Amino acid sequence: MKIDTQKLIHLRNTKAWSQQHLADVSGLSLRTIQRIEKTQSASQDSVKAIAAAFDVTPDRLLIDESVQVMPQLSQSEDHSLPHPHPHPHPKSSGRDGFFASQQNLMWLIIAIITTLCVTVYWSQSVNANDSAKKVVEAGALVDIDETTLQDGLEWLELVDTQQYEKSWDESSPIFRTSVTQAKWVEAMLLVRKPFGEADSRKLEAAQAPASLPGLPDGEYLILTFTTKFSASSLSSTETLSLVKEDGHYRAIGYFIR
């Protein structure tokens, strides 16, 4: 079967998944995922496994000869964005039902306003899990000091307390040139506020690349948190990307799913 690899890579980037992570979730080998993305060819079982990982139907991954590759999102009612939870609960509460109906739009907005180069880097990087103060860089572990971690947590706290204008003000110029303050506030009111208060937040993984595609060399961090929000019974994943400027780390990208 012929897979549309641009659709596949788009789905991975939207979820901030590496090839290895997709392999783990789908139950396929890393080599199989790499081969599929390179050759556009996959068995029926592989297509079904990948589709299940993204919670889409198999036909969504196949090449559609009747349309051009990946029409612009604004021209399509179906944005081909995955449901954030691989196992949705059919008997959700009213609040959880709201999340289910809003998630695709959430992914669209956050994907637009988050720096693309960060997404590309993250999707091609190897995910790693370690203790709450470790960063993985090309397989090597380095320590994160309290000040560094606090820079990220303080920015997230601005978002938690609905200080969306200030969170924009406190972000990096890279971020502020990607989205206006008004659009950022609008996006946060729509896609972050419904999650409610952050009851707990745990650092699960981090990476410290020295450079990102399209950006100058610098001190970057990509942090992943598991967060429990008051308005949902399910844990969510937050990915915060930062760059060091004037002695402090400032936000350049934010995902929530």
CATH code assigned at 71: 1.10.260.40
State the residue range of the domain holding 172.
Answer: 94-256
For the segment 3-12, the average pLDDT, to the nearest whole number, is: 84
Indicate whether 27 and 148 sit together in one domain.
no
For residue 151, pLDDT over 90 is answered with: yes
Going by pLDDT thresholds of 50, 70 and 90, the confidence category of residue 142 is low
Give a yes or no: residue 31 inside a domain: yes
pTM of the model: 0.52
Give a yes or no: residue 236 inside a domain: yes
Indicate whether 160 and 201 sit together in one domain.
yes
Instruction: Please report, rounded to a whole number, the percentage of residues in the chain having pLDDT higher than 90.
Output: 24
Going by pLDDT thresholds of 50, 70 and 90, the confidence category of residue 166 is very high
For 69-82, b/e burial (b = at least 16 CB within 10 A) is: eeeeeeeeeeebbb
d(CA 123, CA 15): 8
Indicate whether 118 and 16 sit together in one domain.
no
For the segment 59-66, the average pLDDT, to the nearest whole number, is: 72
Give a yes or no: residue 86 inside a domain: no
Going by pLDDT thresholds of 50, 70 and 90, the confidence category of residue 9 is confident
Give a yes or no: residue 136 inside a domain: yes
**Both tokens of residue 115?**
């720096």
Domain boundary among 18, 48, 75: 75
**According to the model, what pLDDT value does residue 64 have?**
60
Going by pLDDT thresholds of 50, 70 and 90, the confidence category of residue 80 is very low
Going by pLDDT thresholds of 50, 70 and 90, the confidence category of residue 113 is very low
Domain boundary among 47, 75, 103: 75
CATH code for position 164: 3.10.450.100
For residue 228, pLDDT over 60 is answered with: yes
For residue 153, pLDDT over 90 is answered with: yes
Indicate whether 24 and 141 sit together in one domain.
no
Give a yes or no: residue 110 inside a domain: yes
Give a yes or no: residue 172 inside a domain: yes
Q: Which of 96-100, 173-177, 247-251 has the lowest mean pLDDT?
A: 96-100
Indicate whether 151 and 62 sit together in one domain.
no
d(CA 42, CA 39): 8
Going by pLDDT thresholds of 50, 70 and 90, the confidence category of residue 202 is very high
Indicate whether 168 and 248 sit together in one domain.
yes
Give a yes or no: residue 81 inside a domain: no
Q: What is the distance in angstroms between the CA of the first residue and the CA of the last residue of the chain?
A: 30
Give a yes or no: residue 84 inside a domain: no
